Amino acid sequence: MKQIQTIEIPITGMDCTECTQHVQRAISGVSGVQKVDVFLSSEKAIVQLNPSLAKMSDIRTAVKEAGYSVAEAQGDAATPNAALGEFSRRILTTLGLAFGAIILLVVAGEWLGLLDGLTEIIPFPIGALLVLIGGAPIFANVIRATLKRQVISHTLMSIGTLAALIVGEWTTAMVVVFFMHIGNYTERLTAEGARRAVKDLTALAPQTARVEVNAEEKEISVSEVKLNDIVVIRPGEKIPVDGEVIAGHAAVDQSSVTGESTPADAGIGSKVYAATLLKQGTLKVKTQAVGAQSTFGRVVKMMEEAEAHRATVQQFADKFSTYYLPVVMGIAALTFLFTRNPLSTAAVLLVACSCTIALATPIAMLATIGANAKHGVLIKGGKYLETLARADVLLIDKTGTLTLGKPTVTDILSFNGMDEASLLSYAASADRYSEHPLADALRRAAHERGLPLHDVSNFESIAGMGVRAILDGKTVSVGRRSLQEGTSIPSQVPALEAQGKTVLYVAVEGKLAGVVATSDTLRSEVPEALQKALFLGIKKIELLTGDNDTVAASVADALGISYRAGLMPEDKIQIVREYQSQRHVVVMVGDGINDAPALAQADVGIAMGGVGTDIAIEAAHITLMHENWMLIPHVISAAKRTMRVVKGNLGFTAAYNIIGLALAAFGFLPPMLAAALQSIPDLGILGNSARLLKQRHHA
């Protein structure tokens, strides 16, 4: 079987979404390449290939022939001398704007008849030469694309420039060149805005770590830190790795990961995460994940790859752009055929700009994704925003989602001669390797009572039912009553369940030894959040839980929603499919562990509290790094607002182009004005989409 490898390739020279399409087509044409995703925001391509067939030299050549380049390493994508590069850009921008101001004065003077003799002072050949020199980089890209049978946005403008020169208006041609440069500059600003969210996020990660070796501390690059290394962090420093605290106590600002501004306490046994800030105290941390494998690394990767999940409306825009340019050229040809007016024909070519269509969707999507990432809401791509804006069914898990996920043991009832302490010790020991919140409650209760945890073997976690293990040579099972076949319900249990408590049955060697009741607290913000979700267009809210009917009813009744109880993980998937078969758009909210299958099946899966949870980030389409239910209506509102902006962008672009083409074709829009106006859609879309960067965070 052929071995497929995935590699990341840094790409330089991309300024707009059209560029990513050119690079994607170029790399896709290399033999052995299976799949290509090109990202404007992170300036890279992720390529799946057969290494025995696809050579890096061939990929590099293909990218170069498309008009772009491959950096030697990820760091090479940056300008070698950033300060000098920024200074140069400012100088060039200043000169360009000054040059443009002079040209505009000349044009205004010509229109007012004040400078009629000026163009006569400069011979036409010199003017034409200035046009060719000023537009050389753009014309070179157009020629390169034409030779590869590609039509790009500047193809129209270049043809318009040529048309202006043919009719002897070199000043108009110069204005066209100037506004092509302005358009490029605008697109670079737009692209940089898309990249900034990723760059700002990446900049939060520390580059070095202080590692303890043989009781001595040594500062090394984060890339050199290995698993189980002991890392020392002092006040005011960023934590460089994910790990467990083995010494010290501190307050940690986790806002870079969770969006929560209140510092969290960290002591021995606590988990801490890379890129979070130590506010007070000193910690020693045993490394569990570093770099791309850390929680922060996975967050950055999600942000970088969000562009790959394009919304349907974005895919439409991409396809429209492909056909739009030939259509405009056809309109220009018809204009010349019927009017025989080269100026009107040139104006048609100049007023059209396909980049506005291509920019209308991705810039808005990336703005929303970036703004929400700052508040700990990770959205995997634009298509999930578009889907969420249409959602009408909300399905919710209970434990760890509607509730705080930190249940406490409230009642212990022992039978058949076993005392309460032994029962709790057995139950907590059998559950010692489980990650379920109820297992954590048992372990905490045993610890608070000073009870020992026994060694166990043959530990088995049975999805949706409980656990089974060998303890002191005996088989101990803890979980739902269905796990203990033939067990009758003790008389005290109905009263406990009527109080909304979850009852765990503990059996030893198949015989019921007792029950342990636990209680969890409903999140205080849930009622308000659900009301806001209904206001935003959610028509049906349903609780899905593995708990019994009595417990589920007490929670659902308190919230005024429907419920289904006693569910296994596969039952939740079936319910999601049931709603989907009725053409509902389903949102599933869970804790990202036992709900992972349902999260993946839903149209939009939202994982609550994804810090440090691989399953949450992988299975869900949206991950809330902070456990705050008000983020649910917030992200629904953000999705709807984003789609309104996208539709506004597309509507504005369509209206502008239709009106502009009509005015140009009928001779009401001269080439010079058409050239000046073609940058307006870019600026309009950029300004409209920029509003999404200032989305208010709902605490």
Please state, in angstroms and rounded to a whole number, the distance separating the CA atoms of residues 276 and 118: 63
Please state, in angstroms and rounded to a whole number, the distance separating the CA atoms of residues 420 and 27: 67
Instruction: Give the 3-state secondary structure of residue 501.
Output: coil
Catalytic member of 253, 397, 520, 595 = 397
Residue in the structure block whose two tokens are 């925001």: 41
- Output the six-digit token pair for 32: 């052995």
Helices 136-147 and 170-202, packing angle to 10 deg: 80
Cα-trace Rg, the chain: 31
Q: Nearest-CA neighbor of 556 among 402, 363, 416?
A: 402
Which amino acid, 32?
Answer: G
Question: What ranges make up the beta strands (E) of 202-310?
Answer: 208-213, 216-221, 230-233, 242-248, 250-253, 264-266, 271-272, 277-280, 283-289
Q: Which residues of 500-529 are buried (b: 16+ CB within 10 A; e: fewer)?
A: bbbbbbbbbeeebbbbbbbbbebbeebeeb
Q: Which residues of 616-629 are buried (b: 16+ CB within 10 A; e: fewer)?
A: bbbbbbbbbbbbbb
Please state, in angstroms and rounded to a whole number, the distance separating the CA atoms of residues 49 and 51: 6
- Output the six-digit token pair for 455: 């060694």
- Check: CB of residue 669 under 8 Å from CB of residue 657: no
Residue in the structure block whose two tokens are 């040594």: 218
- Check: CB of residue 279 under 8 Å from CB of residue 238: no
33-39 and 540-544 beta bridge pairing: unpaired
- Could you count the other beta carbons within 10 Å of the beta carbon of residue 362? 27
Please state, in angstroms and rounded to a whole number, the distance separating the CA atoms of residues 378 and 376: 6
Q: Is 253 a catalytic residue?
A: no
Question: Which residues does 526 contact at the CB level (< 8 Å), separation at least 6?
Answer: 402, 559, 629
Dihedral sign, Cα of residue 526, residue 530, residue 536, residue 537: positive
Question: Which residues does 188 contact at the CB level (< 8 Å), separation at least 6?
Answer: 15
Angle CA 609–610–612, to nearest 5:
125
- Could you count the other beta carbons within 10 Å of the beta carbon of residue 133? 9
Please state, in angstroms and rounded to a whole number, the distance separating the CA atoms of residues 585 and 311: 15
- Check: CB of residue 110 under 8 Å from CB of residue 116: yes
- Could you count the other beta carbons within 10 Å of the beta carbon of residue 600? 15
Which amino acid, 541?
Answer: I
Residue in the structure block whose two tokens are 């935003």: 536
The set of catalytic residues is 397
